[in-house]
Every structure is written in C-alpha cells, then in structure tokens.
Structure 1
C-alpha cells in the first residue's frame, strides 16, 4: 500500500483481479518485490 500509495481496498482489488500477483504466508498476504516492479513498469508503459 505504501509503495503504491493506494488504499488497502484498491491493493486487494488489484490482487483479486490478478493484476498484482501475491501469495499467502500464514495469515498474511505478501506481494513480492519483483511483482510490484512489474506492475509499476506495466502501468508506466500503458501511460506512455
């Protein structure tokens, strides 16, 4: 949430839609750094 400056709801929405890959570790949802970088790169390419 902090890295993307988005609300918790929006981040979970991106995860549910498959746009932001994640995994569950125990009861926590984790987003790998490379998945976050890929998501940001794709958004930048789409904006250009």
Structure 2
C-alpha cells in the first residue's frame, strides 16, 4: 500500500478553524464571513466544512477588489 499518496493528497474540504488558519484570520472572523455569505460552506451531517475552492474564490475576489497600484 502506498501511504504517500494519502498523506500528500490535497484536502478539498476544510474545517472552519483550518480554513480560518489558511487565511490567517480568527475563527470568529471566519464565521462572520460565512454568515455574511462571503465564503460558501457545505453541510455534511451536523458538520460544516469549507470547500477549498470557496476559499480560493474568496481570495481571488479580494484581489480583484483591490484598487490598482499607481
């Protein structure tokens, strides 16, 4: 069995806390962004997860909203 494939695979769903860490923000701020609809989440049973694609889309939107440098 090749265990390196499993450990090197990219997670597509993150815990809210892990998503917050990835953005270098706090848990409360992350939940506020989710509640405001800025970051999409999915529900799996009673668990809330943040798709990696939703984080990437949010970061891209932030970059697009930045004023151009003079």
Q: Which TM-score tier does this pair reach, normalised by the shorter chain?
A: 0.7 to 0.9
Match for residue 49 of structure 2? Answer: 30
Q: State the SS of the aligned residue for 1:40.
A: helix
- Give ranges in structure 2 of 5+ residues lacking alignment: 1-19
- Aligned CA RMSD, in angstroms, stands at 1.0
TM-score by length of 2: 0.62
For residues 7-41 of structure 1, give each alpha carbon's deviation from its aligned partner in whole angstroms, at most 9, with x where no partner exists.
Answer: 00000001001110001223322110111100000
- Give ranges in structure 1 of 5+ residues lacking alignment: none
Query: Where in structure 1 do 4 or more consecutive aligned residues deviate above 3 Å?
Result: none
Residue 5 in 1 paired to residue 5 in 2? no
Match for residue 20 of structure 1? Answer: 39
TM-score by length of 1: 0.86
